[in-house]
Amino acid sequence: MNPESEQLRQGDLSPAGPEMDAPPPLSAAARAEARARFEQLIAEHLDSLYRSALRLTRNRPAAEDLVQEVMLKAWRSFHTFQAGSNVRAWLHRILMNAFFDNYRKHTREPDMVDQEDVGDFYLYEKARDSAALSAAGNPEVEVLDQVMDTEVRESLEALPAQFRAAILLSDIEGFSYKEIAEILGVPVGTVMSRLSRGRHLLQRQLWEFAKERHFVRGD
Amino acid sequence: MDCEKALDKLWQFLDKELDGESSTELQQHLEECRHCFSLAEFEQRLRAMVRRSCTGEHAPPELKERLSKLIRLF
């Protein structure tokens, strides 16, 4: 990683032009003060950034590197950051840009379009239809009880990156559609369709786990 | 509001992205329709489960230390 040679892609969150790479010269005292504010801000959001990075990269060393990259990029445009802005959204935008920049360089994941859609509430319907689960009395409760946390994380990580990103921003980090649209640089309609498709795929994956590990009859 | 429309709007509702009027109508439908209510409850529980399974992790201490060291160089 060589952050000094990389271009920032901050969109409307930082001014365009060559000056954006270097913070304006500051007095030592002003710099120390900015550094202290920045350090506090990073500390506050570190867990959230790390979790998102972990879900995106799917491994710890890569997640740590990504968070470090985000921090370096955030510091370089920190002077453009307005107090009172949505810090967590700003940091997540830097995170998503950094991740997808690296990601596109190393993978070619086809855009997921025109896939069959067999209903939004896949898992619920599967659980209701399952004779084995129905025998337990309350199939919808039963199916969720059978899936472990690690399996949920695995299922999420099995999703194509674009869907994974939308779901983690919405369902885990709790950002609004509008915030997610800004973070990912796509229209709100795209956010909604990625969420819908992603949740559907997630439910299919969870059903596979319920089936495999717990011998639920899956038909 | 009928079931089809309610289910069409359900995720927006659960995401708290539905405007006031539609949200009230959907809420009303959920109170009256056992099937949609049970489905909404399921989706909510599922979401809570996804959230819980992914929010237990914290940044490792080594990372915190590494970042603090870097910040001191800024």
Give the number of other Cβ atoms within 10 Å of residue A77's Cβ: 18
Is the dihedral angle over the CA atoms A219, B5, B8, B13 positive or is it negative?
negative
CB of A1 less than 8 A from some CB of B: no
Contact A68, B67 (CB under 8 A): yes
Q: What is the pTM of this model?
A: 0.82
Please give the residue of chain B at the shortest CA–CA distance from A33. Answer: B74
Residues of A with CB below 8 A from B39's CB? 121, 124
Query: Taking a C-beta distance cutoff of 8 angstroms, is the pair A121, B43 a contact?
Result: yes
Q: Do B17 and A167 touch (CB under 8 A)?
A: no
How many structural domains are present in chain B? 1
pLDDT-derived band at B51 (thresholds 50, 70, 90) equals very high
Tell me the pLDDT of chain A (219 aa) as tens digits: 444 434 434 334 444 444 445 556 778 888 888 889 899 999 999 999 999 999 999 999 999 999 999 999 999 988 888 777 899 999 999 999 999 998 877 776 655 555 555 567 888 888 877 766 667 677 777 777 777 888 899 999 999 999 999 999 999 999 999 999 999 999 999 999 999 999 999 999 988 888 776 655 544
A36, A37, A54, A94, B2 from A69: Cα distances, Å: 19, 18, 14, 9, 49
A196 touching chain B per CB within 8 A:
yes
pLDDT in tens, B23-38: 999 999 999 999 999 9
CB contact under 8 A, A192 and B71: no
CATH of A9-106, picked from 3.90.1300.10, 3.40.50.300, 1.10.1740.10, 2.160.20.10, is 1.10.1740.10
Quickly state the pLDDT bin for B44 (edges 50, 70, 90).
very high
Distance, in Å, from the CA atom of A194 to the CA atom of A177, rounded to the nearest integer, reads 11
A122-214 CATH:
1.10.10.10
Report pLDDT for A132. Answer: 67
Q: Does B3 touch chain A (CB under 8 A)?
A: no
Structural domain boundaries in chain A: 9-106, 122-214
A84, burial (CB in 10 Å: exposed 0-12, middle 13-18, buried 19+): exposed
Burial of A69 by CB count in 10 Å (0-12 exposed, 13-18 middle, 19+ buried)? buried
Q: Which range of residues forms the domain containing residue B53?
A: 3-73
Q: Indicate the angle between helix axes A188-214 and A122-129, nearest 10 degrees.
A: 30
